[in-house]
Copies of this chain bind each other. A is one copy, B any other.
Amino acid sequence: MDHWFVTMDGSLKARWEKAFPNAQPSTPNVIEKNARSGDLVWVATTVVSWQQLTQRLALMGVTVVILSYAPNDKEALKALDLGGRGYVHTLATADVLKQVALVVTNQGVWVGQELLAKVIGGTFKALSRRTEEVSTAGSDYLDLLTERERGVALAVARGATNKEVARQLEITERTVKAHLSAIFKKLAVRDRLQLMLKLSSTRELASY
């Protein structure tokens, strides 16, 4: 996994070097050829076409974090909507940058807490009204499964591959398959697709 910092002139700020000694500077023109899926690319909003660049890189499977000199909620939402996984002030300290990297490379999303509070506060009421009557509906197929099987079933229901489930639960892929076979038999479904449908019919799914 490589680190790239994309600016207009390919300069590498001292702060970034301190946080990631192995990071490489790059420019908008060449980053799309050099970056590969799984890499972490930091894109400055001083790059003229940072939005298109973010979108394309995200589609490539690249983890993108946007660096802005003047962070604001609207730009942050735009960045995340385009597939960016983080939005940080360009002048963030090395410590913060390292933490951001840790979070986004582990399937997390980094976003300023003021924005998050604002968004969650506003959304909660509308969303809870909508789901109130549905959420506590009875028959739960998950009760038929063992604790470990539940973990596997929930991960699969979120769209994870066997390999991903194995990594998440810290077991081998073979064990995941074993659990899945048991799950399929217990819930009488033929594959993971039907499992998703069966589970999503009774509950809303989210992940960690």
Interface of A with B (CB < 8 Å)?
58-59, 69-78, 80-81, 83, 87-89, 91-96, 99-100, 102-103, 106-117, 119-124, 126-128, 130-132, 134-135, 140, 142, 147, 150-151, 154, 158-159, 168-170, 188, 191-194, 196-197, 200, 203-208
User: Which B residues touch A81, using CB under 8 A?
Assistant: 120-121, 124
Q: How far is the CA of A151 from the CA of B80 in the complex (A)?
A: 23
Q: Do residues B158 and A197 form an inter-chain contact, with CB atoms below 8 A?
A: yes
Residue in chain B with minimal CB distance to A72: B204
Q: Do residues B168 and A93 form an inter-chain contact, with CB atoms below 8 A?
A: yes
Question: Contacts A99-B103, A99-B106, A120-B80: A126 and B196 contacting too (C-beta < 8 A)?
Answer: no
How many identical subunits does the complex contain? 2
User: Whole-angstrom distance from the CB of A84 to the nearest CB of chain B?
Assistant: 10
User: Which B residues touch A80, using CB under 8 A?
Assistant: 116-117, 120, 124
